[in-house]
A and B are shown apart, each in its own frame.
Chain A
């Protein structure tokens, strides 16, 4: 088992390897295909971490988190495509507007708590998704989404040869989000977040404005999600409704629960594994092994959601800590043995 004093050098080596792999050559990461898959996976890893800040660290079960990711994507894409502002300003404006949006939605929905809060955020999130689908003023492109005008962003992000720059950008975005969330959850505000999750009444008795702290967590998670949405716009090359719907939020929930909440790295690993797994499973289910099976078994099995759903139910029922929880449990057992 990995001990704390070894885990930092281990992490540093891992990051260095991940960062250098595309230029070293002679490994699978020198291929644009895997770079693209991992770039997307890093973004989902970061997004899962922002969800962990809300759900794991603050105890706010939001079902509308994807809308902030989508909002970052769409606003950036619209501003760039219509020549309103240069690309870097578009990104800043998109993140600011999303932060404001998260604040407004947070102010309304945080009047409720617990399970009701989950319902309300779901309703707001879906409303946003519906608005995107309706294609008001032809801005959002309806169900097809909108393609990013590739001529208006720096060219090193565009094209298959340049996938490695995209890969580095995504990796950097993940590191930035990780650092910010690490800093927040270890700060005194982070302690209040955890206290809110464990015993809200107690925090109130201590004289702290609980609403303000919850809103802070909500807005930070939303803004970071929109930042990752901006990066995803570059990686996907377009903004589409599937990046803003409740299914994505549910996927985030799966990532955090399967990876393990409140450990930070659990959510990131969960997000990366989930993202890679769903991409790979689609290829896998086209294999003869699956297509030759009778439809009554092969049909449902070829849907990744079935396997993930069953795994999810089992983890929630029997192993609530997820992957990282299991790791810590094993480590505690190993230490106790000594």
Chain B
């Protein structure tokens, strides 16, 4: 029972990290049709921004300072995402394939620049001491950081939902995902919604980057790789443009992967791909996605 709980909660924690990456990918794709390969670069940039602040505290860090480093990571990545959108993506709207290609170029350049400056080795990210504690739940000792990831993902999910539901820009984004041309035809400036979505996606990825650095015991230009791939899988399974869909799919994949890996090492990735194939065969638009127009 205690092993079961440990695997379950670790899986959900991992799912929370996937969600942080996938939510932005999903919104950006849903609204703008941009497949953003630079999302991994957002994640890495965020991790390095956060690290730049956090490393001043040495090996251990107080909780408020850690939270601040997360915020700085998120803002840094958000600003970077906004910059990319303004400088490059905005110049080539309606050229979807070219946009995807350009983001590949950005990912390459960012990876090379960070690798050139900081080297590709893992550097330890300062972590609040209580992250290393165990929490006792029904006899299972569960590392405290898992709950922190889950909490962060939940807060971002709720903030995301509130923003989309209750603000004007949220309304424009939701309408834009539904039918962008119609929104533009009504005389609403969709471009601003594009920029907002890029910033938000970058922010979530940046926060995710900080947490992923903590989870993978360090920060390096290479940390994004696996998470970007899982982010893509989550978006496809959850349904393009659906943030709740991404949340459900992320949790599902995190948990299934952990359980499969517990029984046979390395089986997890395999099971996830089978799941992906299955979802595509039964529901090509994903769990909560709209049917293809």
List chain A positions with a Cβ less than 8 A from chain B: 61, 108-109, 111-116, 118-120, 122-124, 126-127, 130-131, 134, 136, 246, 250, 253, 257, 295-296, 298-306, 308-310, 312-313, 316-317, 320
How far, in angstroms, from A295 to B115 measured CA to CA in the complex?
11
- Whether B112 and A119, one on each chain, are in contact in the complex, defined by CB atoms closer than 8 angstroms, is no
- What are 6 A-to-B residue pairs whose CB atoms are below 8 Å? A111-B280, A124-B277, A253-B101, A299-B116, A299-B117, A303-B113
- Whether A308 and B236, one on each chain, are in contact in the complex, defined by CB atoms closer than 8 angstroms, is no
Instruction: Give every chain A residue within 8 A of B235 (Cβ-Cβ).
Output: 119
Instruction: Give every chain A residue within 8 A of B88 (Cβ-Cβ).
Output: 313, 317
Q: Which of B250-293 contact A (CB under 8 A)?
A: 265-266, 269-270, 272-273, 276-277, 280-281, 284, 292
| Nearest B residue (CB) for A114 | B96
Question: Which of B29, B113, B272 counts the most chain A CB atoms within 10 A?
Answer: B113
When A and B form their complex, which 6 residue pairs have the shortest distance between CB atoms, in order from nearest?
Answer: A299-B116, A300-B116, A309-B108, A134-B266, A306-B112, A303-B112
How far, in angstroms, from A308 to B104 measured CA to CA in the complex?
11
How would residues 101 to 124 of chain B score, 1 for a CB under 8 Å from any chain A CB and 0 otherwise?
A: 110111111011101110000000
Instruction: Give every chain A residue within 8 A of B198 (Cβ-Cβ).
Output: none
Instruction: Give every chain B residue within 8 A of A306 (Cβ-Cβ).
Output: 108-109, 112-113, 116
| Nearest A residue (CB) for B117 | A299
B165 → chain A closest CB, angstroms: 26
Instruction: Give every chain A residue within 8 A of B112 (Cβ-Cβ).
Output: 300, 303-306, 309
- Whether A317 and B229, one on each chain, are in contact in the complex, defined by CB atoms closer than 8 angstroms, is no
| Nearest B residue (CB) for A59 | B97
| Nearest A residue (CB) for B232 | A119
B209 → chain A closest CB, angstroms: 19
- Whether A120 and B108, one on each chain, are in contact in the complex, defined by CB atoms closer than 8 angstroms, is no
A117 → chain B closest CB, angstroms: 10
Instruction: Give every chain A residue within 8 A of B266 (Cβ-Cβ).
Output: 130-131, 134, 136
- Whether B109 and A123, one on each chain, are in contact in the complex, defined by CB atoms closer than 8 angstroms, is no
How far, in angstroms, from A37 to B169 measured CA to CA in the complex?
55
Instruction: Give every chain A residue within 8 A of B100 (Cβ-Cβ).
Output: 61, 115, 118
- Whether B104 and A250, one on each chain, are in contact in the complex, defined by CB atoms closer than 8 angstroms, is yes
B269 → chain A closest CB, angstroms: 4
- Whether, in the assembled complex, B168 has its beta carbon less than 8 Å from a beta carbon of chain A, the answer is no
Chain B, interface residues (CB within 8 Å), range: 35 or more
Instruction: Give every chain A residue within 8 A of B272 (Cβ-Cβ).
Output: 127
How far, in angstroms, from A152 to B252 measured CA to CA in the complex?
47
| Nearest B residue (CB) for A124 | B273
- Whether, in the assembled complex, B68 has its beta carbon less than 8 Å from a beta carbon of chain A, the answer is no
Instruction: Give every chain B residue within 8 A of A114 (Cβ-Cβ).
Output: 96-97
Question: Which of B97, B104, B105, B233 counts the most chain A CB atoms within 10 A?
Answer: B105
Q: A118-B35, A312-B101 are in contact. List 17 more A-B contacts (CB 8 A).
A: A108-B280, A112-B284, A116-B236, A119-B232, A119-B233, A123-B232, A123-B233, A131-B266, A134-B266, A300-B117, A306-B116, A309-B108, A313-B105, A313-B106, A317-B88, A317-B91, A317-B98
A80 → chain B closest CB, angstroms: 25
How far, in angstroms, from A8 to B43 measured CA to CA in the complex?
50
- Whether B109 and A317, one on each chain, are in contact in the complex, defined by CB atoms closer than 8 angstroms, is no
A272 → chain B closest CB, angstroms: 20
- Whether B113 and A300, one on each chain, are in contact in the complex, defined by CB atoms closer than 8 angstroms, is yes
- Whether A131 and B269, one on each chain, are in contact in the complex, defined by CB atoms closer than 8 angstroms, is yes
- Whether B105 and A122, one on each chain, are in contact in the complex, defined by CB atoms closer than 8 angstroms, is no
- Whether B236 and A316, one on each chain, are in contact in the complex, defined by CB atoms closer than 8 angstroms, is no
Instruction: Give every chain B residue within 8 A of A296 (Cβ-Cβ).
Output: 117
Set B102, B116, B236: member contacting A303, Cβ < 8 A:
B116
| Nearest B residue (CB) for A295 | B117
Given A257-B101, A309-B105, A313-B88, check contact A131 B277 (CB 8 Å): no
Given A299-B117, A313-B109, check contact A111 B284 (CB 8 Å): yes
- Whether A313 and B276, one on each chain, are in contact in the complex, defined by CB atoms closer than 8 angstroms, is no
- Whether, in the assembled complex, B240 has its beta carbon less than 8 Å from a beta carbon of chain A, the answer is yes
How far, in angstroms, from A277 to B292 measured CA to CA in the complex?
42
Instruction: Give every chain B residue within 8 A of A316 (Cβ-Cβ).
Output: 98, 101-102, 105
A252 → chain B closest CB, angstroms: 11
Instruction: Give every chain A residue within 8 A of B104 (Cβ-Cβ).
Output: 250, 253, 312
A35 → chain B closest CB, angstroms: 30
How far, in angstroms, from A310 to B113 measured CA to CA in the complex?
11
Given A108-B277, A111-B281, A112-B280, check contact A126 B111 (CB 8 Å): no
Instruction: Give every chain B residue within 8 A of A109 (Cβ-Cβ).
Output: 280
How far, in angstroms, from A249 to B107 measured CA to CA in the complex?
14
| Nearest B residue (CB) for A301 | B116
How far, in angstroms, from A310 to B108 measured CA to CA in the complex?
9
Set A123, A126, A298, A302: member contacting B236, Cβ < 8 A:
A123
How far, in angstroms, from A302 to B117 measured CA to CA in the complex?
10
| Nearest B residue (CB) for A55 | B97
